Chain A
């Protein structure tokens, strides 16, 4: 603990408190959490900060009853909700948490927002009402509440949409709304700002301010000491599964504990957000988009709506980095899926290395274009990390395939995880692994969809190094991001996708 004292530690008036001497998942030798003391008062915002693998999500799920002692793992310590303390010794006679009762009072929104959805509701409005239906709320009250929460979360225009058609940022707001609508006394949000655009960030910050004002205790789990975290009353810094420091933000902002952790400190890491210089002139473009037009057939029941992309032009030269920003749902991910032929434009043409890809299957274009998906979990399908990177590599790199896979894993710092199942990696390492699968193929064009989401400071450093190496090799890099600082500090050019076309900011 730091000299600031264990300020996030347990107090007498806490709404939710915990003392975790140790918590281990079944089958794991080492505890995932040890020596963590935590308490949160009604009407306050508390931030739990830590890098990748620091134990934030485990702590959040324990507090919210998603990890139940005895069921998910063994806890030595206690949990206290609204003055009622449950003592755990790790034995068979430990108390049992009733998940339904606990979740009435403690809401949780996971990092993967899609995991929050019931999947059997056909509209956003019904998905929002799911928790109320299960509580037997009368229908008139449900209608009113759904309308109110949709207004608060900026979802009013989406109520009739199929949740499966929402963009990443819209989905996150829906997941938060689903947790808020049942009015829990404590709300635990895991990376609530990930993949939100600037407007979405404001909506969520306003919502959190409104909730704390109304008496809700809000806990934010984050690997970034961003504006939201800095507005918290208290911080708990986790490092390696244990509490490294706790206290007020201004006491901890310059503490060595925070500096040692993987927490992203924007002011520190982005001191010189100069646009990347030194683009070699004169080379022929490696990627050309000519008059691209695209529209999903009847997307979200909005058939006949204006096209998502229209008359879009872009030229990218070897060794150039282009960052594309824009509001949620503007079509950024859709644009990237055109680069390797996963989507075919309705108008216009995509040329890679001077050649149109219109008649080529994606599997062939993939030799020249590497794509990092927005949700890396969608991209990982093999049994081990090494097999994942090696997939399809032999055809491309021949005898060098093995060495190329090892080098790519080394470049993203995952050499030590070669035998791990990709599903067991934390979200940040899954993203780095997905990046490695693209790097190993040495593509002429590297397309990255939200590469910074879920990465801690160490992960961001890896990503920057990888982009630098790709640029030095002469690859073109196109990245979609909501992080304006990352965009301006990484790219030669920053473009905004809005109204279907690219423009200078």
Chain B
């Protein structure tokens, strides 16, 4: 079995894939990247979470792209349909497709990374590289925020159910339940963060000076080389794209 991916390798891979896809600006490539990310997410057992989160981000975005560029695209020449000032043009649809698939690929790749990376490994890897611990703590808190919020929400719901709150029923009942849970959720998180800050300070978290890491994350040389190659590829793709966009500069 190959060595598990070092968190920096998966971070580099995700960022470089997003950069190359954006630079290439070709919808078949974007679709292929999205599909690959979806397959990897399913294989990593995070398919449902990644796809749900991606849908939450991409559906409204896709709709707005269609509305904006599909209906109002000034450069559009091939008119497919028109209602007053709104014209559906082939060019507009193509642009919307291009932009939509490109954004979709980037979102999926980055979500795949954030839902599959081990937060403790990432924090340890960043600490070893001398990043301020406050930074990696914020990063780790962000990555673990959803589970933490879900946990607290679960505790509040448990308490409320134990006192006669019946969940389920229609959309209105659910909305009412969300309302009674939000206030204690936010207040609880604020109160907890205050206590947490005190405890962290007492355990030497704010100290200046060097730090060590208990957790060891193996970083095989092959993965370091892979990261370098990925970065070079991404830089090349961006340079090519810039060259293609400004032919005059490219000729000089």
Contacts and interface: CB of A to CB of B under 8 A. Distances in A.
A334 interface: no
A379 B212 contact: no
B203 A361 contact: no
B153 to A, nearest CB: 11
Nearest to B156: A381
A200 interface: no
Task: Give the size category of A's interface with B.
Answer: 35 or more
Which residue, A108, A120, A340, A361, has most C-beta atoms of chain B within 10 A?
Answer: A120
A283 to B, nearest CB: 25
Contacts of A359: none
A379 to B, nearest CB: 4
A378 B164 contact: no
A29 interface: no
Nearest to A138: B212
B199 A116 contact: yes
Interface in B151-166: 151, 155-156, 158-166
Chain B contact residues: helix, strand, loop or mixed = helix
B120 A121 contact: yes
A146 B214 contact: yes
B201 to A, nearest CB: 5
B164 A108 contact: no
Contacts of B203: 103, 116, 118, 130-131, 134, 178, 182
B12 interface: no
Contacts of B198: 66, 115
Contacts of A362: 158, 161-162
B196 interface: yes
A308 to B, nearest CB: 18
Which residue, B141, B192, B196, has most C-beta atoms of chain A within 10 A?
Answer: B196
A381 B160 contact: yes
Interface in A420-448: 423, 437, 441
Interface in A362-415: 362-364, 366-367, 370-371, 373, 378-383, 391-393, 395-396
A151 interface: no
A382 B188 CA distance: 10
A378 B192 CA distance: 12
B204 A131 contact: yes
Contact of B202 (A64, A135, A364): A64
A119 interface: yes
A119 B159 contact: no
Interface string A107-149: 1101010011111111001100111111111110011001000
Contact of A139 (B181, B188, B212): B212
Contacts of A80: none
Contacts of A110: 195, 199
Given A100-B201, A120-B120, A120-B144, A391 B160 contact: yes
A320 B192 CA distance: 38
A196 B188 CA distance: 26
A361 B169 CA distance: 12
Given A99-B206, A367-B164, A382-B184, A118 B200 contact: yes
A416 B118 CA distance: 49
Nearest to B147: A164
Interface string B160-184: 1111111110000000000001011
Given A119-B196, A361-B167, A363-B166, A133 B214 contact: yes
A382 B181 CA distance: 10
A86 interface: no
B163 A441 contact: yes
Contacts of A100: 201, 204, 206-207
A483 interface: no
B211 interface: yes
Contacts of A371: 162
B141 A437 contact: no
A87 interface: no
Interface string A246-288: 0000000000000000000000000000000000000000000
Nearest to B157: A362
Contacts of B245: none
B164 A361 contact: no
B164 A396 contact: yes
Contacts of B225: none
Interface string B98-134: 0000000000000000000011100100010000010
A65 interface: yes
A379 B213 CA distance: 36
B60 interface: no
A342 interface: yes
B3 interface: no
B141 A120 contact: yes
Contacts of B163: 366, 391-392, 437, 441
A122 B148 CA distance: 13
B121 to A, nearest CB: 9
A127 B212 CA distance: 14
Contact of A342 (B144, B158, B205, B209): B158
A104 interface: yes
Nearest to B121: A122
A364 B166 contact: yes
A134 B207 contact: yes
Contacts of B195: 110, 112, 115
A366 B162 contact: yes
B207 to A, nearest CB: 5
A179 B37 CA distance: 44
Contact of A423 (B159, B191, B213): B191
Contact of B137 (A65, A120, A395, A437): A120
A182 B204 contact: yes
A115 B191 contact: no
B213 A133 contact: yes
B207 A342 contact: no
Interface in A170-209: 178, 182
A366 B160 CA distance: 10
Given A132-B214, A361-B168, A363-B167, A104 B204 contact: yes
Given A104-B204, A362-B158, A383-B183, 4 more contacts: A115-B196, A373-B159, A379-B162, A381-B159
A-B complex: 3 closest residue pairs judged by Cβ atoms: A381-B184, A363-B166, A129-B214
11 contacts: A66-B198, A66-B202, A100-B204, A107-B202, A110-B199, A115-B199, A118-B199, A120-B119, A139-B216, A164-B151, A392-B164
